[in-house]
Amino acid sequence: MNVPKDLKYTTNDEWVRVEDNIATIGITDYAQDQLSDVVFVEIVAFEGDELSQGETCAVVESVKAAADVYMPVSGTILEINEALADSPETVNEDPFGAAWLVKVELSDSGELDKLMDAQAYLDMERDH
């Protein structure tokens, strides 16, 4: 299981990469593996929307299931990954790179302290 050390993680298998108060959000390698072949990605937020930590920002559907993706942090949506509409399989191929879902401007950077580092996330997944 691929778990980059420079990211933060949630118990719901989302990841966050922060650069200059901008958070890029996606789902983890573990999540895409559990979903199997992703066939549809719907970003349910729009640029300019303000979402709170825990709100749904996307739905990822696979041949096995559909999964809501929750905001790991609060912020204003700056960009959505529109390429996933035409290429949902990118979620399986590159979950930590090209398959990012949304980019947000953080409204409360303190929320990052509540997220897990890579080791804590690995420990949680091993306990499943």
Chain segment 51-76, per-residue pLDDT in tens: 999 999 999 999 999 999 999 999 99
Bridge partners for 102 per DSSP: 25, 80
8-109 has CATH 3.50.30.30 classification = no
- What's CA 32's distance to the chain center, in Å? 11
User: Percentage of residues in the chain with pLDDT exceeding 70?
Assistant: 99
Q: What is the mean pLDDT of residues 99-106?
A: 98
Torsion of CA 19, 21, 122, 35, to 10 degrees: -90
Continuous segment of H or E residues that includes residue 106: strand 102-106
Q: What is the mean pLDDT of residues 40-57?
A: 97
In terms of pTM, does the model score above 0.85? yes
Q: CA 101 to CA 81: how far, in whole Å?
A: 5
